Structure formats: structure tokens, C-alpha cells
Amino acid sequence: MTGRSCSSMLRLHVLLFTFLGCSSLALLPSVAGPAMVEEAASGQNIFSCSEDSNVVPSFTEERGGEGRARKMLLGNQRDDIPDFKQLKMLPSLTMVQRRELKAALESTRAQMQVLLTKMKQLRPKSEGARSAGRPGGIVDPQVRAQILQLRTQIQALRTKSWEEIKPKLTQGQLIELAAMRKGELQPATFNEPMTGGGRQ
Amino acid sequence: MSISRRTFLQGLGLMSVYLSAPEALLLSAKAAEYAPRTAGKSKILVLVQMSGGNDGLNTVVPYNNGAYYQLRPTLAIEPDKVLPLDREIGLNPNMIGLHELFKNGKVAVVQGVGYPNPSRSHFRSIEIWQTAQPDKIVETGWLGRYLDCADCTKNGNIFAAVNVEPTLPKTLQSNKIMVPSVSNVFDFKFRTDPRYLQDRETQVRAFEDIYGTFQSKRPNAELLRNAGLEANKASDYLQKIVREYQSEIKYPDGSFGNGLKFISQMISGGVDSRIFTVNLDGFDTHTNQANGQNKLLKQFSEGVAAFYKDLERNNLQDDVVLFGFSEFGRRVVENNGRGTDHGTAAPVYVIGSKVKGGVYGEHPSMTALDDGDLKYKMDFRCVYATLLDRWMGADSREILGQRYEYIPFV
Amino acid sequence: MTGGKSDVFWINHLLRRAGFGVTPRELKRYVALGYDGTVNELLNPENVDNMQLEESIKQQDFDYTAINDLKRWWIYRMAFTRCPLEEKMTLFWHGHFATSDRKVNNAYAMYGQNMLFRKHALGNFHEILYNASKDPAMILWLDNQQNRKGKPNENYAREIMELFTLGIGNYSEQDIKEAARAFTGWQTLPSGFFFNQRQHDYGAKTVLGVSGNLNGDDVVAILVKQKETSKFLATKLIKYFAFDDPDPAMVSRIADVYMTSKYNMRKVVRAILTDPAFLSERAFHAKIKSPAELVIGSLKTLQIRKLDGDLPMTMARMGQDLLMPPNVKGWDGGTAWIATDTMMERFNFANRVTTTKFSEMSKFSSAQEIVDNQGLTSAGKLVDYFLDLLVDADVPASTRAKLVSYVSSDLSGKPVSNIPDEKTLDAKLRGLVHLIMTLPTYQLA
């Protein structure tokens, strides 16, 4: 520890922060010059989006990985076909439904695999555009056309699977799916007080 | 019960006085340049750790053994699918690349490798393979101890070994040096604000000055100081190497393939490293073994084949031996989930142009089992001793504590 | 307090260990409570109003079925909760009962498990072990689905003894085999835990000297009361909160609290946080920050409200992939966080924070304003302010001097007596914070 006094540390940490208006540009005085200590009882917080501002903290859009891959596959279209992986997590899914879901996906699996592989191969070409600083849009019209075509085909397969599965689910389950995505469905975790604590 | 490194080394009878770890690291941090390796001058060992416990019986298949088929009704591999090594055993059908290398005499398969009183705990067993010490817990790895004795670390060469994984395996835990771990060379770069490029130089110099003289009595300060210095220096060097050495050989996708590719770049680029370590994870196949293991063995085989081809392109294949092992094999009888549980003895694989290819050791008995597990025939330290003395030119007695019989694969 | 240091000093230390650091406003509030008052508040999260966090979370619209969103959800909680010790203990349990979604492949089950750990964060160890053993994610992770009468799968029995309770060497292979039989039939359906009677081995068994027709509940009860369990947990917790090398005397003290309080984790943690060893020079800056502590601590100290979406990946590259620990042993911690790769990752995180994050602020204030408003009228003051803020000024004089000369130079490195313009000041401010965040001291908790 350097020999700093505790009281000055306290002072720095406990300064009350209030927002001050813009001050005019001033230059930093010399290092060797007199220490002009402006011990303001209040001073603007060191960073703008401080806890004193009313900004609710949030995440910026995720960079790379899952989101980008998914976006590439599905584009910007919003449809009401749920994520099939999500469906498998539904706590109220019965074993029968689970088997039916598996069967429905199995029928389109081979074709889907082919489309996904093709899409994967196109990814580097689109990334080139992105890393070159061009936002979102894919520049090469041929590549863009291929991606759009693949998306249509992927969408068709997903719709086919969904049409097979949807009638096997109850209305309640569809509502549950939405709730689960929001974390509002009771997870299937075991969470009960011990009964008796067993022998010994 | 862990014993101090000093006590262990004294127990081994090491005569030389060694620098304390921080002192040695300071020396390396001060070294300005990394001297490049001269081809043919030193031998390189690439260690592939197959993590999770690779099922030896489905990798090197005893396709003529009735018990194998009896005890593994769903998992056993059909005799006509197996890639034969000799009349008794053959490779898993997904290992075509490795089989080719075997036919060209570049692969030694050593059977029935293990150690007495085997542990079936992942952590303890891999620790035993990494430290070469089944009887007690020690703090250094067998290759870490090699690095402590070898002259490749004398002038502060921090690249004496490189770990191509995010976490350093205990294999490379050494007294003298801290082996760098570089899993992704492109991210391995000290960055400063791109808008103020002029200031970069001042900042980097300030960083080096601060780290050069930093002293604190906090317990881990010295370790952190050396790690920081090393990170910076290493990054400059490796960026240069990778820029200058590209390859057209196709490696399998994934971190294992990328790791081998990066190792090949470093060797071609002249990084003066004796040891490289890389991991292939996922062998803990308690359920649905066929699916998982086949994919991994394919990766292993394709990766090794690509690596070997890459070395050949640069005429460096004579300098390198690759050694693949796992912390244990798996039980003979399959379990309820179309998988197998933790077992004991298993084969190891030694690959290289200077390797005398073939099948070594005896296959463990499939009937005289030790509580359902294969009994080992070959102590793994024999393999280590062979590699240390006959390939790396070291003194295995110092490193392993006693002499072990050699196996003539190199 | 000990060693002539102020309350502020030790509260900062406490919040680094029992939480993930503090923002200036939070610190002010804790200082008003005093050290003991703060310890009390931390240990009783149920008495703290955390509604603001829950409401902010709702606004974020996380997708609880997507594992990467779940990781972000948890980081958000750790950064903005008013119950930091609750989150810190949730992280402890996650590392202790290390379960990885790489195998479980069910984000909602991982969410459920995470909520379980939070609910019992400072609860009773018997309850948490009991519930964790029946947790769907755990059953899938350690293959207990396949553990059946006549064909037992030993994975869970081994790990519960080796890693969750006794520690290696304190049981025999026979104990494991018998315990595996006790856990047969413990399965999971999508709807949750399911006891499959037909697959349960009801026969006689002996585990750690106790005989009977033991089932899984019995084995759990046997394990929690073992002396080895008390020592194992005590050691782990002291390492988590205090320092990497607990002495046997302290382990004994804390292990005793575990036993006499009948496995009450609140009492055990209190014992550690109020132990003289915790408030000693030996404990100060004695631990290496885990990636979670480094990243979240930075967000808090610098009051960052806009978090990068790929923070989970940043932490993963530093060696801590939340909800995906490398194996069932969890994270070793301590010096294991430090490798050349992970150090570089820490440095680059520091760079990202000081470049992109400062940009977020340029709309509201300029570097000059920051300097003026804090009265930072000399390079020395500037350096001291940030050294205090970021590392409790725990650096050698030579480091401070070098930082001062860095700040007192222009963009080409030439020493100056006056910062020539706003642009240079901006560069130097960022560079200074970057350099401090790359110091060895900044890696210490």
C-alpha cells in the first residue's frame, strides 16, 4: 500500500454526485504547478450512464455466434413456428408427444441437413461483407439470391414439420411455450422440502 | 497429500541447483529475441490427450475374439468393418487416415497400457498419466520435469513447450518455466485504442516498464507479473509466425483440427518448441457410445493424417512424433445405455516417420478380468521412458524416478 | 477495525469477496450501514427489496430457452442485484455441483437448476444436496437416467462422494457400488423428477458403514453428516471467500460451525466473513479475480449500463464459461485462472471497456468535464483518483510514477507540462484506465 491517508480516500469515494452543465474547455495545468484542489462537495459523475441516470441497464445486440447464424437461416421474418429445440424443453410434454415430435423432425432431417450445410458454406462469403464494414447487407447479388432461396426452402421444411406436430399439442401447451420463453413457466426442477430426511 | 516440489526433486536425486520459478521467469521475460529452431537439430513431441476415457476395445478392435462379441451385443464392431492391423486386431472403421499411415509403417499401437491399482476417477487417473506418479500426488508433470532438466529452457526460451488449449494440463506443470497456452492465435494480441495509434507505442512501453519493475508482497503478484510479460512477448512472436506460414492442407473442423494446424504452423515457422499439447475431448461415452466415439475417432484420424501430410510438405516429418493416449479405457461389458463405464487398460498410439510401425505389447485377456476390467500388461511409464530417452534424448531415470523397460517403437 | 484500516477499506474488500464489487452509490450505502451492518444485510437477502432488478429483467425480454440468453440473464443479475452474496453463493453452488449445458442441452432445465441454487444459496446443505440430487439437469448430466436395478451406473454415486461431499480418498469403491444401487430408479421426465420403482434396487446395502435397504435419500443423509464433508466444504468455502491456502486451524473452526449448526450455510458463511483471518493483511488482495469477478467488477466500478452481448463469450475465453463448466469438478480457481491466453484476454477486455465504453459517454460529457468536475487538476491527481477507484491504490511507487509520466506526455510520447488539447486528454484518460486495468493488482480481488 502506498502511504495515502484513509481520509482522502474516503473523501474521493463519498463525493456526492449531481449533474453539472457543460463547462468551457480548459487545459490541464502543469504537472509541477500548484495543486488547485477544487474540493467540490458535488461533482458530475465520472461516467455518463451512471447509476444516477435513469437508464435501465441493457445488453447491446449480441455479436457473432448463435444469433447471427440463426438470423442467417431465418432472415428477418417473424413466424409463429416455435423453435423445435424449445419445444423439447416443455415440462408438460408427454413421452408420446416427444416421440411424435422426434418422428416429425426425422422425416425432414436429411433434407434439412443438406440445406444447412449449403447455408454454412455461404457464411464466409457474407461475413466478408460484414467485416469490410458494410452493415447487414450482403453485397454479392448472386450470394444474396442463393441465401434467399435457401431460406425459402428451410422455411418450407419447418412449416411441414410444424403442420405435423401442431395438432399433437394442446392449446394450453402452446401458451406454455410462450410463457417458458419468458421464464414464466415453473421449470421442471425438483424443489421440495425433504420429507423425514431418510433413515439415519 | 501433496508434497513440495523441492522435496520431490530431492527425492529423485537431482543434483543441479535450480533457479526459483520467479527468477527463471524473469530471465525469460528479459530475453529480447526468440531464437528459431534449426530443422533436424532437435526432436519434437506432440501430445494428444484424448479426454474422457477412450474405449480402447472399440478403437483397436479384437475382431477375432468371441468374448468381445458376446459381452458387447450392440456395441461390438463387425469383423468385416474393421480396418485390420494384424490377424487379431484392427482399427475402428472411422480411422481410415490412421490406417493408411499404419500401412506405411508410421504407426505404433502399444496394447494393454495401464498401471497398478488403477483409478477410475477422471481427475485422479488423468493426473496419474500427467504426473507419471500413481502412488502420490505431486505438483509437476512428467514433461514439466523434462523441461526442468532439458537445455532447451536454459536461455529463457519460453516456447520450450506450447499448450494449444485454454487450460494448461498438469503434464506441463514445471518448476522452471510457465508454459504458454495459446488456443487461438488471432485473438492473442495486446490491443490499444485504434483511434489513437500514435499513443500505442507510449502505452505499450509504459506497460513493459511497469511490469518490468513491479513488486508487491501480495501472494500472487509475481505470478501475474510474469504471466503478463510473457503474454505480450509471446503474442508478438506468434502473430509473426502465423502470418508467414499458411497451409493448404484440409484439417477436420473444430478445435482439435485447428490446434494441429496451428502446431504445424509453429513447427514450420521455426518456433523452438520441443513439446506441443492438444486435447480431443468427449470420450466419456457412458451412453450412446457408437455415435460419439466414432465421430471423435474420425476427427483424430483425419487430424493426424492432415498433420503428417503438412509436415511432409515442409520436409519436417522426421523431426516429429505424435503420441495419443487417454486416462483409461472402458469396461468390457457394455452398460444399459448403449455405452460403457470407466475402465482401465487401453492402447496408446505413437505416430511419426521415424517410428517403427507395428503392434506392440500383448492384448489384455478378455476373460481373465479384474472385476470386469482389463488387466494392464504394459506400464505406461515404459512408453514414457522410451519417448524420453530414445526420442527426446533425455534421462528418464531422473524424470520418472527409476528405469523402465523400453519398447522398441523408436 | 484491524490494522488501522477504515471501514471503507474493509467494506470494499468484503464486497469484492462476498459480491462482485461495488458502484460508488452502493458503497456509500454500505458505509452508512457499517461493516457489521453490511454483513448482516448480505447474509439476509430475503430482507432486501430486489424488485427493481426483477423489473429491469422483465424489460430485457431474455429468452430463457436459449442458453446464451440465459448466460446473459445471469450476468445481468450479478451486476445489478441488491443481493450480491446471494448471487455469489449461487455461483458457488453452480461451480460445486458443476453441471454443463453442453451435455444437458436443455436451457430451461439449467434455468431451473440455477433457481434452485439461488433459493438455497444460504440455506441448509442437506436440503440443497437432496434437491440437487433430484434435479433433472443433474440426473441427465451424470447419467442417472441409465442407473437401473441390476445394471447400475456409478457416475452419480462417484461424483456425489468425490466432488460434492467427502472429497477423494474418503470412501471405497465398494461404497460407490452400493450407493449407485441406492440411486437406481432416480430418473427424469420432461415434467421433472420421477422415481421409477420398477428400476429401483430395494435390496440391502452398506454405505460408509451404515446398513439397511438404503435409497438415495438415505445416502444423501449419510453423506451430509460426515466429518469429511464438513472439512471438504469448509476448505472450499474458505478458498472461495478468503484465500487460496486455508490453514488447518481455520478449516477446523469453520467445519465445526457446519456440524454444530446442522449444515446451516448462512452460519458457515458468516463465520468466514467475520473471522479475523478474513479481515487481515494476509487476506487483502490475496485472491485472483475469477473472470466473473473481473468482468462484473469492472462493469460496477465504471458504472457501465450498456453491456456487450458477447460478455458470456469473453468470460468463457478467460476460462469461465457460465452454465458450461469444463467438467463436473467445476473451476479450480486461484492460479488456474492465469495462463498466457487468459491474461491476454483480460488485457483485451480492459481495452474494449476503455475504448468502446467511453464512446458511449461522449454524448454526455467530455474528458475535460470529467477532469474538471473531480478537481483532477494535475496528472498526479488524475492517476491517484483512478488508482484509488480501481485498485485501492495498492501499487508500488514506481508504478504510480510511470503512470504519471505516461499521462504527462503527448500522443507521440514526448513529455509535456500541459496537455495540449481535448483529444490528447481523451486518449490519455482511456490509456490510463486501460493500463491500470492491466496491472497485476487489478487481477487481484
Interface of C with B in 254-283 (CB under 8 A): none
Asked whether the beta carbons of residue C109 and residue A188 sit closer than 8 angstroms, the reply is: yes
Who among C220, C369, C372 is closest to A198 (CB)? Answer: C220
- The domains located in chain B, with CATH, are 5-400 (3.40.720)
A26 pLDDT above the threshold of 50: no
Who among B210, B220, B230 is closest to C335 (CB)? Answer: B220
Greatest Cα-to-Cα distance within chain B, rounded to the nearest angstrom? 73
Band of the pLDDT at C198, cuts 50, 70, 90? very high
Interatomic CA distance for residues B271 and B262, integer angstroms: 11
Asked whether the beta carbons of residue C342 and residue B214 sit closer than 8 angstroms, the reply is: no
At residue B123, the 3 state secondary structure works out as: helix
Better pLDDT: B177 or B60:
B60
* CB atoms near residue C280 (< 10 Å): 14
What residues contact residue C141 under an 8 Å CB cut-off, 6+ apart? C99, C100, C103, C104, C328
* CB atoms near residue C336 (< 10 Å): 15
Q: State the burial class of residue C4 (Cβ atoms within 10 Å of its Cβ: 0-12, 13-18, 19+).
A: exposed
Residue of C373, C392, C430 to mutate, interface with A, max A Cβ within 10 Å: C373
The confidence score (pLDDT) of residue B15 equals 25
Pairing of strands C210-212, C205-207: antiparallel
Band of the pLDDT at C202, cuts 50, 70, 90? very high
The confidence score (pLDDT) of residue A81 equals 79
Whether residue C399 lies within 8 A of chain B, CB to CB, comes out as yes
Q: Which segment of A15-24, A40-49, A102-111, B200-209 scores lowest on mean pLDDT?
A: A15-24
Mean pLDDT on C433-440 = 96
Asked whether the beta carbons of residue C173 and residue B120 sit closer than 8 angstroms, the reply is: yes
Interatomic CA distance for residues B257 and C15, integer angstroms: 43
Q: Please tell me the distance in Å from C298's CA to the nearest CA on chain B.
A: 18
Of B249, B267, B307, B238, residue with least CA distance to B39:
B267
**Residue keyed to cell 487430424:** B303
Q: Collect all residues of chain C within an 8 Å Cβ-Cβ radius of residue A78.
A: none
Band of the pLDDT at B184, cuts 50, 70, 90? confident
Residue of C25, C27, C65 to mutate, interface with A, max A Cβ within 10 Å: C65
For C365-381, write each residue's pLDDT tens digit: 567 776 776 777 788 98
C297 pLDDT above the threshold of 50: yes
Who among C284, C341, C403 is closest to B183 (CB)? Answer: C341
- Per the structure block, which three cell numbers stand in for C333? 480457481
Mean pLDDT on B345-359 = 97
Band of the pLDDT at A69, cuts 50, 70, 90? low
Better pLDDT: B25 or B5:
B25
Asked whether the beta carbons of residue C319 and residue B167 sit closer than 8 angstroms, the reply is: yes
* CB atoms near residue C337 (< 10 Å): 26
The confidence score (pLDDT) of residue A195 equals 61
- Percentage of chain B beyond pLDDT 90 is 62
Band of the pLDDT at B19, cuts 50, 70, 90? very low
Mean pLDDT on B51-71 = 95
Asked whether the beta carbons of residue C286 and residue B218 sit closer than 8 angstroms, the reply is: yes
Interatomic CA distance for residues B293 and B289, integer angstroms: 6
Q: Collect all residues of chain C within an 8 Å Cβ-Cβ radius of residue A6.
A: 5-6, 8-9
Better pLDDT: B271 or A45:
B271
- Percentage of chain A beyond pLDDT 70 is 52
Who among A39, A83, A189 is closest to C115 (CB)? Answer: A189
What residues contact residue C385 under an 8 Å CB cut-off, 6+ apart? A12, C374, C376
Asked whether the beta carbons of residue C375 and residue A37 sit closer than 8 angstroms, the reply is: yes
The whole-chain average pLDDT of chain A stands at: 64
Residue of chain B whose alpha carbon sits nearest to that of C437 = B207
- The question of ipTM being above 0.95 is answered as no
Band of the pLDDT at C358, cuts 50, 70, 90? low
For C28-64, write each residue's pLDDT tens digit: 999 999 999 999 999 999 999 999 999 999 999 899 9
Rounded to two decimals, the pTM is 0.76
Report how far apart, in Å, the C-alpha atoms of A165 and of each of A109, A161, C190 are: 14, 6, 17
The confidence score (pLDDT) of residue A15 equals 23
**Residue keyed to cell 474540493:** A39
Strands (E), B5-139: 44-51, 60-61, 83-84, 90-91, 107-114
Asked whether the beta carbons of residue C342 and residue B166 sit closer than 8 angstroms, the reply is: yes
A31 pLDDT above the threshold of 50: no
Band of the pLDDT at C69, cuts 50, 70, 90? very high
C445 pLDDT above the threshold of 80: yes
Who among C243, C396, C443 is closest to B224 (CB)? Answer: C443
Interatomic CA distance for residues C402 and C431, integer angstroms: 13
Q: Please tell me the distance in Å from C413's CA to the nearest CA on chain A.
A: 16
Q: Which segment of B1-5, B198-202, B374-378, B392-396 scores lowest on mean pLDDT?
A: B1-5
Interatomic CA distance for residues A97 and A165, integer angstroms: 9
For B293-342, write each residue's pLDDT tens digit: 999 999 999 999 999 999 999 999 999 999 999 999 999 999 877 889 89
* Contact of B91 with B82, CB cutoff 8 Å: yes
* Contact of A41 with A12, CB cutoff 8 Å: no
Interatomic CA distance for residues B83 and B3, integer angstroms: 46
Q: Please tell me the distance in Å from C98's CA to the nearest CA on chain B.
A: 14
Q: Work out the angle at residue B154's Cα, subtended by the Cα atoms of residues B148 and B157, and round it to the nearest 5 degrees.
A: 95
Residue C328: half-sphere exposure toward Cβ, Cα within 13 Å: 24
- Contacting chains of A (3 CB pairs or more, <8 Å) are C
- Per the structure block, which three cell numbers stand in for C153? 451406473
Whether residue C2 lies within 8 A of chain A, CB to CB, comes out as no
Q: Collect all residues of chain C within an 8 Å Cβ-Cβ radius of residue A197.
A: 126, 217, 221
The confidence score (pLDDT) of residue C54 equals 96
Interface of C with B in 317-346 (CB under 8 A): 317, 319, 326-327, 329, 334-336, 338-345
For C277-291, write each residue's pLDDT tens digit: 999 999 999 999 999
For B122-154, write each residue's pLDDT tens digit: 888 999 999 999 988 787 899 999 999 887 766
The confidence score (pLDDT) of residue A95 equals 85
Mean pLDDT on C136-156 = 88
Of A158, C399, C384, C250, residue with least CA distance to B208:
C399
Band of the pLDDT at B173, cuts 50, 70, 90? confident
Rounded to 5 degrees, φ, ψ at A162 are -60, -40
Residue of chain C whose alpha carbon sits nearest to that of B136 = C169
Interface of C with B in 165-194 (CB under 8 A): 168, 173
What residues contact residue B141 under an 8 Å CB cut-off, 6+ apart? B130, B131, B132, B169, B170, B171, B172, B173, B174
Q: Collect all residues of chain B within an 8 Å Cβ-Cβ radius of residue C329.
A: 123
Band of the pLDDT at B6, cuts 50, 70, 90? very low
Mean pLDDT on C119-130 = 97
The whole-chain average pLDDT of chain C stands at: 92
The confidence score (pLDDT) of residue A82 equals 78
Of B286, B400, B303, B299, residue with least CA distance to B342:
B286
C259 pLDDT above the threshold of 90: yes
At residue A199, the 3 state secondary structure works out as: coil
The confidence score (pLDDT) of residue B137 equals 77
- Percentage of chain C beyond pLDDT 90 is 72
